[in-house]
Amino acid sequence: MAGVVAAGDKLTAQAGADILDRGGNAVDAAVGASFVSFIAEIGVVHLGGSGIAQIYDPAKQEGKVYDFFSNMPGLGYGVIDHTKLDFAKTTIDFGATTQDFYLGRGSVAVPGNIFGLCQMHQEYGQLSLQAVLQPALKLASAAIPLDQFQASTCKLLYPLYTHTESMRQIFEKDGKFIEADDPLFIPHLAETLKLIIEEGANSLRHGRLAKALVADQKTNGGLLTRRDLAEYEVTTHKPTRIKYRGYDILLPKPSSSGGVLTAFTLKLLGYFNLPRFRYGSSDHLQLLLEAMAATGRARLHWDMVRKHVPLEEATRRFLQDEFVADFATVIMNALMRGRPSRIMVERSGPNNTSHLSVIDGAGMTVGLTTTAGESAGYVLENTGFIPNNMLGEEDLHPAGFHEMPPGERIFTMMTPVVVLKDGQTKLVVGSGGSIRIRSAILQVISNVIDFGMPLQEGIDAPRVHLENRILQCELGINSASIDDLESLGYAVNRWDKRSMYFGGTHSVGRDDAGELTAAGDNRRNGAVAYSMVNNSR
């Protein structure tokens, strides 16, 4: 086997494997698959979103993070007149709860996907951009049947996907909302992909797509300006590296708060001999719960220090052993006394996110996570380009909507992670799902490393997540263990099903024999595909 891909749809995964078969490397495959995801996974991601990626090159023994998350727009805009913004509230009914989102041109942050993906390809790719985007161009040129999972997600977000006539042209047929197996076609998207092939990132920086987006924003009550696109930068950095049970864990730095907080939780678990816990026991669940609660309390410190200290220094202080040890002591006391520690309520963020993972024949590794929020509820005229609504996510803007300075990077929980053993990739994992990203990644890493589970078993294992002071317990968690937690005073909620709420950790890695392996998370339609062509360099 010469390469593996795991992603949020079979078309996405197969596109990546096909690119590997044609001689592309892991970056070619990840970039090409990501562009396919903007069609095949239209219920969760769009071209007009943004993302975080991590590349690990075993030949150089180094990782590199590409941060192309959204900036706050408005450079050169002047004073905001909120009465003139196209910024409309809509409510989504998730069944157990409802949540408000804001749509329209005033919800659109600077989109980073095209910038980031094109730069990754330019710096690491082996094939031409035309070859890499060919699978997406083929899908965009004709209608494809809408997948069942994507149809269900679109239906959940019905108010957003029918918000304007331009969206209804895609998601309604003869007045009926699109269903599974109905033909999906995004008018003009193929022309936009051809433009990207011709102009690369310049299409969105100074080219025709940029001009169309800026003109639409100016005319229809948005904040995004020509300067926002011209001055946007993809930032790159070496990942944060921590040790865990003899493995090296590589995590992105901010704007990924998720990377810093996941590193903190792993360092906490490092104080405990988890392999001695019986998997799924009340002791095991209590430790996971208390580690999540401790990270929630620590997040208050993180949110404060990052405002006043350079991010590199803030990260170093936050992950210092002395700081982490204080929180580990509180966990030990909670376990010994058999009663809960203090639990904070954490802000959530965008749920509509997708992740893909790739390893090629040379061992080059890519983890790539993208999001568009829920979308801004419209399509840019004559482009097929659906913008994000990252300014309409209340949890991303605790100081208030449109209060962040123009040009400033918005923080995200997206966290593509690479796990190494002796310089070789053991595991690539990331997830969608707001603050559940961290708990999903944490449990997959622990399942594989601490409990020795094969990758698919580690992903399929039922998960827990602490939110709003309640431990959410997915179907399959030991009922007696949950009873024990309740008797100790913990609030729990038993789920009667597996759910996308608990993330989508589409992952690749190596098993104990060193063979490549891949696993899709069926909570979010996970799929895998394999390349048999040896593309080692």
pLDDT value, residue 349:
57
What pLDDT score was predicted for residue 396?
85
pLDDT of the residue at 434: 78
What strand order describes the sheet that includes 247-251?
Answer: 240-244, 247-251, 417-421, 424-429, 507-510, 516-519
pLDDT at position 351 is 63
What integer pLDDT is reported at residue 435 of this predicted model? 82
- How many CB atoms are located within 10 Å of the residue 181 CB? 11
CB 119 within 8 Å of CB 50: no
| pLDDT for 348 | 62
Please report how many Cα atoms fall inside a 13 Å half-sphere around the Cα of residue 265, on the Cβ side.
28
Q: Going residue by residue through the chain, which has 537 residues, state the pLDDT in tens, using 9 for 90 and above.
A: 589 999 999 999 999 999 999 999 999 999 999 999 999 999 999 999 999 999 999 999 999 999 999 999 999 999 999 899 999 998 887 665 667 889 999 999 999 999 999 999 999 999 999 999 999 999 999 999 999 999 999 999 999 999 999 999 999 988 899 999 999 999 999 999 999 999 999 999 999 999 999 999 999 999 999 999 999 999 999 999 999 999 999 999 999 999 999 999 999 999 999 988 999 999 999 999 999 999 999 999 998 898 889 999 999 999 999 999 999 999 999 999 888 998 887 766 556 789 999 999 999 999 999 999 999 999 999 999 999 999 998 878 888 899 999 999 999 999 999 999 999 999 999 998 778 899 999 999 999 999 999 999 999 999 999 998 999 999 999 999 999 999 999 999 999 999 998 999 999 999 999 999 999 999 999 999 999 876 554
- Per-residue confidence (pLDDT) for residue 187, from 0 to 100: 97
Neighbours of 238 (CB within 10 A): 11
pLDDT score recorded for residue 101 = 87
Contact 352, 372 (CB under 8 A): yes
Q: What DSSP letter does each residue of 457-485 carry, written as one string?
A: HHHHS--EEEETTEEEE-TTS-HHHHHHH
**What's the alpha-carbon Rg for the chain, to the nearest Å?**
22
Structure tokens at 362: 């040379």
- For the chain, domains (ranges, CATH) are 10-51+69-236+371-396 (no CATH), 238-349+415-524 (3.60.20.40)
* Diameter of the chain measured on Cα atoms: 64
In terms of Cα–Cα distance, which of 507, 500, 527 is closest to 429? 507
pLDDT of residue 192: 98
Active site residues: 353
pTM: 0.96
Structure tokens at 361: 């024949």
